[in-house]
Amino acid sequence: MNGTTWQVQSVIRVVDGDTVRLVRSRTTRLDALELTARDAHPDGASIRLAWVDTPERGQPGYTEARTDLTAWIEQAPGPLTVVCYEGGAGWDRILGDVLDADGASASQWLMRDRGWEPYLPA
């Protein structure tokens, strides 16, 4: 799956174990011009992590999953990037994955190191 890479300017909040709100920017060249696109909404963009499935609010494990994603973001070597995939995740969210400066994936860490289930589309 091909995606578009954006720089993470700031993490607004971790919604749950597989969704984060953040502000992204992306610089591109057009002839001699350098143009930067940035999320305009003050709450940024809602990113649904593509590969992992964690409990939703009100379900057992919600707090633990949210804590795990928060810990990954806080401990990840920066700067962070987010790869956004076409098609989206519905519900006003973008399907993507957050990567640290070394290229390590938040989704993969949540599954491999924390034991959360992979996302399996129906």
Is the CATH number of domain 3-118 2.40.50.90?
yes
Name residues of the chain where pLDDT drops below 50: none
pLDDT the model gives residue 26:
95
pLDDT at residue number 8: 97
Angstrom distance (rounded) from CA 8 to CA 89: 19
Query: What distance in Å separates the CA atoms of residue 97 and residue 37, rounded to the nearest whole number?
Result: 19
How high is the pLDDT of residue 88? 63
Annotated domain spans of the chain: 3-118
